């Protein structure tokens, strides 16, 4: 079928418009940000990790193949952070015959367990994906102020460091979003007078114990220089504890923080007024959400006489509280992911860990084979 004369005339007119369009020069002197390899990486909810990875007898090969494909696309396999809210509920039972026993209390959270017991086979999941580096999250929420939590730290550090030997260790993490410990909607684990100074004291107490146990059970980790942390892993910049104050209180006094980790969600799953077009597909909203982290990080840079570790999003995604159906799991949200990650790279973030968990609506990429 041949076009009509009217169609030809219209095409010619459009072509003329294109040819006459103004040209906008792109400056060649703009500052660049050399991002880390595996720039787009992932964070998996602690209680969901065995689902995503499987174990020695039943490895999740779907996840493994998907990680291989993602690695080929971006030149390096994603780094996997194992953590989130449930890392600060996790206790240990040597006799548990399976990886994890989780009990959900709907009055606290409906999407993940708030009573979590792990057994020795939990650590088999670190052996199912080839050529992947992992961070493992230890329990500061209970470990910093309860004997059962402290015992879990003593019991699991040897297991974790052995599971993450042979080059598998990315970094350690001690505590998830401690800036919310005194105000958490899932139940506070610190008193109302929780402060940056107390947090730093408890963090050092735990991380020094972790180092001592690694030295005892996995000395090669220290000898190779692989030992270190991502921190402070705060939920945001407007909560009870502040990143600059925690840094000024000596958080990196032992000089063992390798990554300055902060968390970000654009908005909440049940926040009033959240829409696909007005929130997730609105670049101004994304820019504003990212820029506040740059402002806080720059405060620390200006106040610190010592080098500050590189900036990463240790946990991030579109809507907190695991996302909302019809928003977080749409094509528009996928476009938001592209916009968010590119903008974060343009302003200085070195790596981004997109958070997900079993049955979360917020997964940008599902690593879980249904």
Given this model, what pLDDT does residue 328 score? 76
What residues form DSSP beta bridges with 234?
A: 262
To which CATH superfamily is domain 33-356 assigned? Glycosidases (3.20.20.80)
**Does residue 77 surpass a pLDDT of 90?**
yes
pLDDT at 111: 81
Q: How much is the average pLDDT of 242-252? A: 98
Whether the per-residue pLDDT at 339 is higher than 70: the answer is: yes
- Tell me the CA end-to-end span of the chain in Å, nearest whole number: 47
26: left (phi over 0), alpha (psi -120 to 50) or beta: beta
220 is catalytic: no
Query: Which one of 177, 243, 296, 315 is the catalytic residue?
Result: 315
| Contact predicate 323/271, CB 8 Å | no
> Which single residue is written with the structure tokens 């105000």?
183
**CB neighbourhood size of 214 (10 A):** 22
What's the CA gap between 12 and 177, in Å, rounded? 59
User: d(Cα 287, Cα 266) in Å, to the nearest integer?
Assistant: 10
Mean pLDDT of 338-357: 95
Q: Is the pLDDT of residue 346 over 80?
A: yes
**Averaged confidence pLDDT in the chain:** 88
Chain CA centroid to CA 184, Å:
18
Burial class (CB in 10 A: 0-12, 13-18, 19+), 264: buried
Chain centroid, CA 113 distance in Å: 19
Q: Running DSSP on this structure, what letter comes out for residue 178?
A: G
Task: Burial-class residue 351 by CB neighbours within 10 Å (0-12, 13-18, 19+).
Answer: buried
Could you give the 3-state DSSP secondary structure of residue 217?
helix
Q: What is the pLDDT of residue 15?
A: 36
DSSP characters for 327-364? TTTSHHHHHHHHHHHHHHHHHT--EEEEEE-TT-TT-S
Confidence category of residue 107, pLDDT binned at 50, 70, 90: confident
Q: How far apart are CA 57 and CA 184, in angstroms?
A: 37
Of 214, 237, 361, 233, the closest CA to residue 296 belongs to: 237
Backbone angles phi, psi at 81, to 5 degrees: -95, 125
Q: Is 23 part of the annotated catalytic residue set?
A: no
Helix, strand, coil share (%) of the chain residues, nearest 5: 40, 20, 40
Percent with pLDDT over 90 in the chain: 73
Considering the entire predicted model, what is its pTM?
0.89
Could you tell me the two tokens for 333?
């949200």
pLDDT in tens, 165-220: 999 999 999 999 999 999 998 889 999 999 999 999 999 999 999 999 999 999 99
Dist. CA 186–CA 265, nearest whole Å: 18
The answer on pLDDT for 368 being more than 50 is: no
* Domain boundaries of the chain, sorted by first residue: 33-356
* pLDDT given for residue 19 in this prediction: 39
- Point out the catalytic residue in the list 45, 124, 196, 243: 196
Give yes or no for a contact between 157 and 217, defined as CB atoms under 8 angstroms apart.
Answer: yes
- pLDDT for position 276: 80
């Amino acid at each position: 079928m041949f076009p009509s004369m009217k169609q030809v005339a219209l095409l010619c007119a459009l072509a003329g418009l294109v040819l006459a369009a103004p040209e906008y020069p792109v400056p060649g002197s703009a500052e660049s940000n050399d991002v880390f390899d595996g720039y787009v990486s992932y964070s998996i909810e602690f209680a969901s990790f065995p689902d995503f990875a499987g174990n020695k007898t039943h490895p999740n090969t779907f996840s493994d193949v998907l990680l291989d494909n993602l690695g080929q696309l971006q030149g390096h396999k994603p780094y996997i952070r194992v953590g989130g809210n449930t890392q600060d509920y996790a206790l240990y039972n040597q006799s548990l015959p399976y990886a994890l026993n989780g009990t959900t209390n709907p009055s606290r959270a409906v999407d993940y367990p708030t009573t979590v017991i792990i057994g020795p086979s939990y650590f088999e999941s670190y052996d199912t994906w080839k050529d992947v580096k992992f961070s493992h999250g230890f329990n500061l929420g209970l470990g910093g102020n309860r004997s059962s939590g402290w015992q879990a730290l003593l019991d699991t550090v040897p297991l974790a460091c052995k599971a993450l030997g042979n080059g598998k260790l990315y970094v350690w993490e001690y505590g998830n979003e401690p800036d919310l410990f005194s105000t958490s909607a899932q139940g506070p684990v610190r008193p109302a007078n929780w402060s940056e100074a107390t947090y730093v004291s408890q963090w050092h107490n735990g991380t020094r114990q972790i180092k001592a146990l690694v030295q005892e059970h996995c000395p090669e980790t220290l000898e190779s220089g692989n030992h270190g942390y991502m921190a402070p892993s705060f939920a945001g910049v407007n909560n009870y504890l502040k990143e600059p104050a925690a840094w000024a209180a000596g958080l990196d006094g032992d000089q063992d923080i390798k990554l300055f980790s902060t968390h970000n969600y654009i908005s909440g799953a049940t926040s009033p007024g959240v829409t696909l077009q007005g929130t997730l597909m609105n670049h101004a909203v994304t820019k504003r959400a990212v820029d506040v982290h740059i402002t806080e990080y720059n405060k620390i840079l200006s106040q610190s006489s010592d080098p500050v570790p590189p900036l990463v999003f240790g946990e991030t995604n579109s809507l907190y509280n695991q996302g909302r159906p019809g928003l977080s799991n749409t094509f528009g949200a996928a476009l938001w992911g592209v916009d968010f990650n590119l903008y974060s790279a343009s302003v200085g973030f070195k790596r981004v860990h997109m958070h997900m968990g079993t049955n979360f609506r917020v997964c940008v990429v599902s690593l879980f084979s249904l």
